[in-house]
Amino acid sequence: MKIVDARVVLTSPGRNFVTLKVETDEGVTGLGDATLNGRELAVVGYLRDHVVPLLLGTDPHRIEDTWQALYRGAYWRRGPVTMAAIAAVDVALWDIKAKVAGLPLYQLLGGASRERVRTYGHASGRDIPELFDSIRARLAEGYPAIRVQTGVPGLERVYGVHHGATPDGARPVVEDWDTGAYLRSLPGVFDAVRQEFGPELTLLHDAHHRLTPIQAARLGKDLEPYDLFWLEDCTPAENQDGLRLVRRHTTTPLAIGEVFNTVFDYQTLVGEQLIDYVRSAVTHFGGVSPLRKLFDFAAQHQIKSAIHGPEDISPVGTAAAIHLDLAIHNFGIQEYAGHTALTHEVFPHAYTFTDGYLHPGEAPGLGIELDEELAAAHPYEPAYLPINRLQDGTIHDW
- What residues are annotated to the active site? 159, 208
Kindly identify the residues of this chain, within the stretch 293-312, that bind ligand EZ4 according to CB under 6 A. 308, 310, 312
Decide if 328 contacts 292 (C-beta within 8 A).
Answer: yes
Q: Closest residue (Cβ) to Co ion? A: 206
Residue 206 makes contact with ligand EZ4 by CB under 6 A = yes
Residue 338 makes contact with ligand EZ4 by CB under 6 A = no
Query: Nearest distance from residue 122's CB to Co ion, in Å?
Result: 10
Decide if 288 contacts 104 (C-beta within 8 A).
Answer: no
Question: Taking CB within 5 to 8 Å according to partner kind, which of Co ion, ligand EZ4, none is near residue 23?
Answer: none
Residue 205 DSSP symbol: E
Question: Taking CB within 5 to 8 Å according to partner kind, which of Co ion, ligand EZ4, none is near residue 385?
Answer: ligand EZ4
Task: Compare residues 39 and 62 and give the one whose CB is closer to ligand EZ4.
Answer: 39
Give the C-alpha separation, 200 to 227, whole Å: 9
Task: Compare residues 80 and 287 and give the one whose CB is closer to ligand EZ4.
Answer: 80
147, β-bridge pairs: 122, 204
Q: Which of 206, 265, 276, 312 binds Co ion (CB under 5 A)?
A: 206
Crossing angle between the packed helical segments 179-197 and 128-141, to the nearest 10 degrees:
50
Query: Nearest distance from residue 228's CB to ligand EZ4, in Å?
Result: 14
* Residue span 221-260 as binding mask against ligand EZ4, x where in contact by CB under 6 A, dash where not: -------------------------------------x--
Decide if 378 contacts 346 (C-beta within 8 A).
Answer: yes
Query: Nearest distance from residue 258's CB to Co ion, in Å?
Result: 5
Burial label for 237, CB within 10 Å (0-12, 13-18, 19+), is: buried
17, β-bridge pairs: 11
Q: Which of 385, 387, 389, 396 binds ligand EZ4 (CB under 6 A)?
A: 385
Give the C-alpha separation, 305 to 311, whole Å: 19
Decide if 123 contacts 147 (C-beta within 8 A).
Answer: yes
249, β-bridge pairs: none
Q: Which residues bind ligand EZ4 (CB under 6 A)?
A: 37, 206, 208, 258, 308, 310, 312, 335, 385
Q: Which residues bind Co ion (CB under 5 A)?
A: 206, 258
